[in-house]
Amino acid sequence: MSSNAVWFTYHLEFDLVAQAGAVTEQACMQAVRDLALDQKVQVIPLKTPRTRTVYGVDVRYAISGPQMLTAAQIAALDAQLRSVFAMYFVGATPDPLYLLGGGINATDGLVLETVLPYVSSKSVQANILYSTELHGFEEQACSVIATPNGNAFTYIHSNSANRLYTRLSIKSAGLGGSPTITIPAADDITIKDAANNSLLIQRTRDIVVTPMPQGSIFEGSKDFFIDAAGKLYLASGADADVVIWPKRSFEEAVAGGAW
């Protein structure tokens, strides 16, 4: 397996009490071979200490570089392994995305397929943040801002404090009103780290930010944690679609499900 990549470890297990009978190590390996992914995916069986019964697997695959799996391959892999472990699949808390090695790319660290709506004197933008879990203690990595000529990328900071979490924040604000932001689920959002590894943000829902009146100012925002596989988990937000405040921890956001 190539070292010129960022790897993601995918933890799957099933309930030994609910599911009678043992899943074999061979069945786990064959599930990956059946998808012709055995050269790109590493499967490490998890076994009980006494009986050595297989109760799950750690699956390791690339999320950047030449061996990177496509979204379709990842979905097929997940479905295949779920079929091995039948209906008693137990999900695990994902790892947060940690942008090490200088953090975000200074040239094109955040790219949106959707062009954010521009309205004169209004602030409409998407931001990547290096952060701790809750309020404060964060650094802004970069911004994509709506301008008369389209989206404009601005680099702000490296991850100088080695903050362990990466967040995506979408905001719209302005006096007397501000435009609604809609980023369809089908539109790509890509982030890139300082080593040029790209990660496609995965989601099944549209992101909609609808500003609401706060005195004379209209404000709307959605703030997401990003996990190591590129999935989004809502940390806070306020609009017609969802209202969550104050901010959630990473674990609370993950418990709310991927966006």
Per-residue pLDDT of the chain (259 residues; tens, 9 = 90+): 445 667 778 777 776 666 666 677 888 888 888 888 878 888 888 887 777 878 888 888 887 778 888 878 888 888 888 787 765 555 566 888 988 767 999 999 999 999 999 999 899 999 999 988 766 578 999 999 999 999 999 999 999 888 889 999 999 999 888 899 999 999 999 999 998 888 999 888 899 999 988 888 899 999 999 998 899 999 999 877 777 877 888 888 888 888 9
Contact 12, 45 (CB under 8 A): no
* Residue that is written with structure tokens 């952060």 in the block: 131
Q: Do residues 133 and 41 share a domain? A: no
Same domain, 142 and 241: yes
Q: Furthest-apart CA pair in the chain: how many Å?
A: 67
Paired tokens of 149: 């000529």
Q: Is there a single domain that holds both residue 78 and residue 133?
A: no
Say if residue 82 is in the same domain as residue 117.
Answer: no
Helix (H) or strand (E) holding 83: helix 71-84
Q: Is residue 67 part of a domain?
A: yes
Residue 51 has phi, psi (to 5 degrees) of -90, -15
Beta bridge partners of 171: 125, 221
DSSP 170: E
* 120 CB neighbour count, 10 Å cutoff: 6
Predicted model pTM: 0.67
Sign of the four-CA dihedral 237, 238, 244, 245: positive
Residues 134 and 13 in one domain: no
Helix (H) / strand (E) element for 254: namely helix 250-255
Structural domain of 141: 110-255
Rounded Cα distance between 1 and 111, Å, is: 29
Find the length of the chain: 259
CATH code for the domain in which residue 44 is found: 3.30.70
* Assigned domain for 2 exists: no
